[in-house]
Structure 1
Amino acid sequence: MRLFLLLLITLTGLTTACQDTKSTLQNEPLKIKQKKKAATPLKPKYTKRITNKNVVEMLTAYGENNKERFVKLTTDFGEIEIELYNQTPLHRANFIQLVKRKFLDETCFYRVAKGFVIQGGNSDRMEMAKIKRKIGQFTIPQEIKKNLKHHYGSVAMARVYKNNPNKRSSPFEFYIDVDPKGSHHLDGEHTVIGHVIKGMEVAKQINLVEVDFSEWPKKDVYMKATIIK
């Protein structure tokens, strides 16, 4: 009996599907056949990967067409708003790129150094790795300015110290200074790219989360990044 019902349901479904298709075709207007034109392929928004050879050219061009300077990071603890500096144009353009390409949405604050910094721009998500590969493999020429120092609330880019005499920045990993006295031992060593204009209380809450031996939070603190203006 169950086999008979199963066959009946299957046949009914096939009949219904065929009837729906026929009905749809009958209601379509008659189309005049025309010679097909060759389709113009749509250009993807991002086609060229950034490398150390073209990084200045690529980020300069991107910055000229994307002049936004204010970014909001939304976390489970609240929102952090950041103003990026025009004095560091390559870094500003790169950070805006990370927001618009949804890279930061796949990352978390993966390092929490108590009383010092919260560092974001990395995670173990596969989607993050995919977006990173599409953006490219490169570092950013340093844009260290004497007047841009590591004050409380400053935002700066991480970098590798070994074999990096020119202090080129990581394009993906950034940190926020949560030391009330500032972290001035880093002045001249890292490019400061902006500062927090709202939400330092959120940054301080994140700095209090429980971490493991590597300063990685035991519960991931993910973020969503959006352009304010």
Structure 2
Amino acid sequence: MALKEISLFGILFLFLLGSCKDQPTPKEKTIPQNNVKKDSIIPEEPPLAKEEEEEAFELNEDNAIEFFFNYSKNLKEDKVKLTTSLGNITIQLFDNVPYHKANFIYLSKMGYFNNTYFHRVVKNFIIQGGNADNVETAEKRSKIGRYLLPPDTRKGHKHHRGIVSMPSSEINNPHKLASPYEFFIVVTKPGSYHLDGGYTAFGKVIEGMDVVDKINSQPVDNGDWPSQNIYILKAEAF
């Protein structure tokens, strides 16, 4: 009898032991805290190199000379064609005034002269271009930068008729530094030689002098501003 009771007890113990193994423990019911839902996305941190976008380049009085010195080294263009509202003018640029040549080509390729005016016409003397009383031109100047160029007047270029030269800035400028956004073309026959030594000649008209004369013949007001706008529609360096 004692042996039978021991056998029944052993069978009962084994049954209870097997039942316990099928039950999950409290630990198995816990959802891990670092589980990721199927459709969720973990945002990646941007690389340090992309934290800030590179600022747009602007010319100023500290970097302009170095910039145009380097820019002139790789220039293949030496001419600029101006498409105006009265016809086309082609300008040959001088190699021995590298800063002014590079500046004129750079501004042309940047689209600065597009939709500016020949804003000053002095009868039998000059036509002057590169400015306009519109917001577009002011915005383009602001983006390109504020700078002046030193005069380069000792390269043997006299102000003959058809010479393209750069006016000096009128603001705080005892050394006659050149205003880089504007230029003038000599109309006087045979030339305006009193300008030699004071202004930098950097090119000459090789085609379209008849257009220059036509511009110079337009009616103007008391301030030499043409009565009707004379547009530089496009400037192309080639």
What TM-score, normalized to structure 1?
A: 0.78
Instruction: State which of 176, 193, 199 in structure 1 corresponds to 2:185.
Output: 176
User: Deviation at 1:124?
Assistant: 0.8
User: Deviation at 1:141?
Assistant: 1.1
User: Deviation at 1:98?
Assistant: 1.0
Distance 2:114 2:232 in 1: 6
Distance 1:162 1:127 in 2: 22
Q: Report what 1:119 is aligned to.
A: 128
Structure 1, unpaired ranges of 5+: 1-34
1:82 paired to 2:91? yes
Q: Which amino acid aligns with 2:58?
A: R
Whichever of the two has the greater Rg, that structure is 2
Distance 1:181 1:37 in 2: 69
Distance 2:109 2:167 in 1: 20
Superposition pairs of residues 1-229 of structure 1, within 5 angstroms: 47-160=56-169, 163-229=172-238
User: Deviation at 1:221?
Assistant: 0.4
User: Deviation at 1:145?
Assistant: 2.2
* Higher alpha-carbon deviation: 138-147 or 74-83: 138-147
Does the C-alpha gap of structure 1 residues 62 and 210 become closer, same or farther in structure 2, counting only changes over 3 Å? same
User: Deviation at 1:164?
Assistant: 2.7
Distance 1:56 1:170 in 2: 14
* Higher alpha-carbon deviation: 158-167 or 61-70: 158-167
User: Deviation at 1:146?
Assistant: 4.5
Would the aligned equivalents of 1:146 and 1:188 in 2 still touch at CA under 8 Å? no
Structure 2, unpaired ranges of 5+: 1-42
Does the C-alpha gap of structure 1 residues 91 and 218 become closer, same or farther in structure 2, counting only changes over 3 Å? same
Q: Which runs of 4+ in 1 moved over 6 A?
A: 35-41
Please state whether the residue corresponding to 2:76 is helix, strand or coil.
coil
User: Deviation at 1:165?
Assistant: 3.5
Please state whether the residue corresponding to 1:150 is helix, strand or coil.
coil
Alignment RMSD: 2.4
Does the C-alpha gap of structure 1 residues 66 and 225 become closer, same or farther in structure 2, counting only changes over 3 Å? farther
Please state whether the residue corresponding to 1:104 is helix, strand or coil.
coil
User: Deviation at 1:60?
Assistant: 1.3
Would the aligned equivalents of 1:103 and 1:131 in 2 still touch at CA under 8 Å? yes
Distance 1:132 1:214 in 2: 23
Would the aligned equivalents of 1:68 and 1:227 in 2 still touch at CA under 8 Å? no
